[in-house]
């Protein structure tokens, strides 16, 4: 499924008020995590987002809702747990000493009131009852860390993933309004700012590009991102970029001690509101005051909202941060742009769980320079509630190319030719009868091609069986040609006769068939938690699958029958951490269903082992700790996983307690510097004995500089 289609499906489900009505929530959750990660990549690296900020935030809020109701699903890779903005190539990497976190977003006064209530409760625990907020413009540009040493500007780092960014110092030095020398400042000063392009410069640049036949920049942010990352700093200088600053990340004196610093007392470029627009008003009144937005719209820079922060920096430290955002601040986003268009017809799409979703085909309309032609109608309750009909003219919310949200019907424009939208009687994919349950209509045929395809794609996905080379196109062929009817049929690909037959289909060359077959065969050795996760059990994600495996190992489950007996025993399963009655009930139903057991028997017959005993490892005594930096021709997560299994502790960044550092190509300079001077690992011989691949490595201070070849030979 393409990113657009996947996003569309998730947008359709995001309006669901009762998450318990969603089947296969674990698979839905992982799809949501993967989709948001892909959108981060498009936004931060390629500078070509296909959805608006509003749409992204809606999906992000959907993710938060799922994690709040099903906390056992929470993955370390979730955008709510860490910033997942990707890092582009072409610039050297640099670590942030203080994480550059994003802000929690709000679109209505109720969110602001909830934010204030949380602040009040958190500070009350510290016996603080009086506090104030500051309010600032929300810049629509590129976030950057600016570092000054002894008053001299020395480094600029993009936000990246919040922990590591790109060193763009040379390009930032071309920004004329940014002081290259500050006076009366701490010995080390790190400031957060925003690089922007003015609207007038953007229009002039686009006019020039149009005359040259080049693609136009959609907005000032895209133009800024495309400019600041040019490899020719001379060209960057011609773009006349601007920089605003708004926060001190850290300040230290000559002895390396933290000190306070008032950014407002410096010569750094800042922006504030006229006092007449803010003084004497509440935060909610300011955010809803049209004069505030009119003031920002009158400026030569783009702003997409307001930022509200707890004023006292000491209180901010008390409030702290989550992995994703600080608790002491929130961004209020201005209402998204809306346009009107007509619903020409309605299609019905079948999701992985069998839910049939109505989708409107729209008369194409451009919103913010992007043409919109389809929009989700979510479900039939949504259609009835908004009284949406075919041929209606509707308001649609600002979006990218992905389907936007229909806000409402412009009933004044009805002509009498509009038609009611009726639910289908038969599945548009398999033509089986459709049933109604609550707000949704379902295809209940477990062999429905649309559902089978989605289940297979989950089965082969990275966090499940990790069978690479099998994407949407391959699955379409395998299912449409009748080769695969369920996930167990994946292992038919080991049959030589079938491999010969596949050569007849477009895209199936000998090399591709060989690689897929190798991946399929290797997947039989995957650990049991991956197998369980691959089954797509509702309410069971990666973390819960791992917890289930721990229970099975404790119970010495070495067969499918024993596993089934344990997972249908509610008294045993309910003892697992983060497991609720809903998940217990789901496991009982799943492992009691005859079609599930038949599927598991099929998997067993092709060589999948449902044994947790083979994965039981004696608890290792505490060993050395390590960190990793640089790139390898294989996953750093794999190195981490294998070494942690052997009892070694992993540190995301080197500290005084880190014993050695594995260094690959393009290693981060800051991590290397952090490793220098750390205490030498006294158990070096033990380390080398248990990990022979380290013997040929140069061990220096505790730093281990790993050659790519030797690491690969040892681990793979």
pLDDT in tens, 240-260: 999 999 999 999 999 989 998
| Catalytic member of 138, 229, 453, 543 | 138
Whether residue 181 is found in the same domain as residue 266: yes
Whether 62 maps to a domain, the answer reads yes
What is the C-alpha to C-alpha distance for residues 399 and 410, in angstroms, rounded to an integer? 19
Whether residue 508 is found in the same domain as residue 567: no
Whether residue 380 is found in the same domain as residue 357: yes
Whether residue 462 is found in the same domain as residue 340: no
What is the C-alpha to C-alpha distance for residues 210 and 218, in angstroms, rounded to an integer? 12
Q: What does the pLDDT look like over 521-558, one tens digit per residue?
A: 989 989 999 999 999 887 788 878 888 998 998 888 88
* pLDDT (mean) for 223-231: 86
Supply the CATH number for residue 41's domain: 2.40.50.140
Q: What does the pLDDT look like over 391-413, one tens digit per residue?
A: 998 878 754 334 577 877 877 77
Q: What does the pLDDT look like over 24-54, one tens digit per residue?
A: 888 888 889 888 888 877 776 666 666 766 7
User: Among 492, 523, 554, where does a domain finish?
Assistant: 523
Is the model more confident about 413 or about 113? 113
Whether residue 313 is found in the same domain as residue 368: no
Whether residue 286 is found in the same domain as residue 271: yes
- Order the strands of the 660-663 sheet from edge to edge: 649-650, 625-629, 660-663, 703-705, 698-700
Whether residue 140 is found in the same domain as residue 246: yes
Q: How many domains does the chain have?
A: 5
Range of the domain at 662: 625-715
Whether residue 127 is found in the same domain as residue 259: yes
**Strands 93-95 and 625-629: what pairing?**
unpaired
Supply the CATH number for residue 146's domain: 3.30.470.30
What is the C-alpha to C-alpha distance for residues 317 and 139, in angstroms, rounded to an integer? 24
**C-alpha distances in angstroms, 213 versus 210, 218, 221?**
5, 15, 21
Dihedral sign of CA atoms 132, 134, 135, 140 in order: negative
Whether residue 630 is found in the same domain as residue 590: no
Give the length of the chain.
716
Q: What is the mean pLDDT of the chain?
A: 81
Whether residue 276 is found in the same domain as residue 176: yes
Residue 654 has pLDDT above 90, yes or no: no
Whether 15 maps to a domain, the answer reads yes
Q: What does the pLDDT look like over 138-156, one tens digit per residue?
A: 998 999 999 999 999 999 9
Residue 599 has a pLDDT of 92
Q: What does the pLDDT look like over 256-288, one tens digit per residue?
A: 899 988 887 777 888 888 888 888 888 888 888
Whether residue 262 is found in the same domain as residue 342: no
Whether residue 369 is found in the same domain as residue 253: no
Is 554 known to be catalytic? no
What is the C-alpha to C-alpha distance for residues 172 and 145, in angstroms, rounded to an integer? 11
The answer to whether the beta carbons of residues 217 and 223 sit under 8 Å apart is yes
């Amino acid at each position: 499924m393409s990113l657009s289609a996947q996003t569309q499906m998730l947008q359709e489900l995001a309006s669901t008020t009762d998450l318990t009505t969603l089947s296969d929530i674990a698979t839905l959750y992982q799809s949501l995590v993967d989709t948001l990660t892909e959108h981060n990549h498009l936004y931060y690296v390629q500078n070509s987002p296909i959805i608006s900020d509003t749409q992204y935030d809606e999906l992000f809020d959907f993710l938060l809702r799922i994690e709040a109701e099903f906390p056992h699903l929470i993955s370390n890779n979730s955008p709510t747990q860490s910033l997942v903005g990707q890092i582009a190539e072409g610039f050297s990497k640099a670590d942030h000493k203080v994480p550059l976190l994003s802000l929690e977003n709000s679109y209505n006064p109720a969110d602001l009131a909830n934010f204030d209530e949380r602040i009040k409760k958190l500070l009350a625990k510290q016996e603080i009852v009086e506090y104030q907020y500051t309010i600032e413009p929300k810049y629509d540009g590129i976030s950057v860390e600016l570092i000054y040493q002894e008053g001299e500007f020395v480094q600029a780092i993009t936000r990246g993933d919040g922990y590591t960014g790109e060193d763009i110092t040379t390009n930032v030095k071309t920004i004329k309004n940014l002081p290259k020398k500050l006076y009366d400042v701490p010995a080390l000063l790190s400031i957060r700012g925003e690089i922007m392009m003015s609207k007038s410069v953007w229009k002039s640049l686009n006019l020039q590009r149009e005359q040259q036949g080049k693609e136009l920049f959609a907005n000032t942010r895209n133009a800024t991102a495309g400019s600041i990352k040019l490899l020719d700093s001379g060209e960057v200088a011609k773009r006349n970029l601007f920089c605003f600053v708004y926060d001190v990340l850290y300040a230290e004196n000559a002895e390396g001690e933290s000190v306070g610093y008032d950014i407002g007392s410096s010569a750094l470029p800042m922006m504030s509101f006229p006092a007449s627009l803010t003084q004497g008003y509440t935060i909610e009144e300011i955010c809803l005051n049209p004069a505030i937005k009119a003031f920002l719209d009158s400026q030569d820079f783009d702003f997409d909202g307001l930022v509200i922060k707890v004023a006292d920096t000491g209180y901010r430290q008390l409030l702290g941060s989550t992995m994703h955002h600080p608790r002491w601040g929130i961004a209020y986003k201005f209402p998204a742009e809306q346009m009107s268009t007509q619903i020409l017809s309605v299609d019905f799409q079948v999701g992985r769980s069998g839910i049939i979703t109505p989708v409107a085909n729209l008369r194409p309309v451009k919103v913010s320079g992007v043409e919109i032609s389809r929009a989700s109608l979510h479900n039939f309750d949504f259609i009835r509630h908004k009284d949406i009909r075919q041929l209606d003219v509707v308001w649609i919310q600002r979006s990218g190319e992905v389907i936007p949200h229909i806000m409402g019907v412009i009933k004044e424009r009805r002509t009498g030719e509009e038609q009611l939208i009726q639910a289908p009687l038969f599945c548009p994919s398999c033509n089986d009868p459709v049933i109604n349950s609550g707000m949704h209509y379902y295809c209940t045929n477990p062999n429905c091609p649309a559902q089978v395809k989605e289940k297979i794609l989950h089965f082969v996905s990275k966090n499940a069986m990790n069978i690479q080379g099998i994407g949407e196109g391959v699955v379409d062929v395998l299912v449409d040609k009748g080769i695969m009817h369920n996930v167990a049929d994946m292992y038919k690909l080991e049959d030589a006769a079938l491999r010969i037959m596949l050569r007849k289909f477009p895209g199936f060359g000998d090399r591709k068939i060989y690689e897929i077959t190798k991946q399929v065969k290797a997947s039989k050795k995957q650990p049991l938690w991956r197998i369980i996760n691959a089954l797509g059990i509702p309410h069971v994600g990666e973390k819960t699958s791992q917890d289930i495996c721990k229970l099975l190992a404790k119970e010495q489950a070495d067969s499918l029958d024993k596993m089934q007996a344990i997972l249908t025993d509610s008294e045993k399963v309910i003892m697992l951490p983060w497991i609720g009655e809903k998940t217990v009930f789901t496991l009982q139903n799943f492992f009691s269903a005859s079609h599930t057991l038949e599927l598991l028997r099929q998997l067993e017959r092709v060589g999948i082992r449902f044994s947790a005993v083979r994965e039981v490892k004696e608890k290792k005594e505490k060993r050395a700790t390590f960190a990793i930096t640089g790139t390898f021709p294989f996953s750093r997560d794999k190195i981490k996983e294998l070494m942690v299994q052997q009892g070694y502790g992993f540190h995301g960044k080197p500290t005084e307690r880190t014993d050695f550092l594995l260094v690959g190509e393009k290693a981060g300079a800051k991590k290397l510097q952090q490793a220098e001077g750390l205490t030498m690992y006294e158990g070096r011989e033990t380390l080398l004995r248990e990990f022979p691949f380290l013997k040929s490595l140069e061990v220096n201070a505790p730093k281990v500089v790993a050659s790519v070849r030797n690491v690969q030979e040892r681990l793979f």
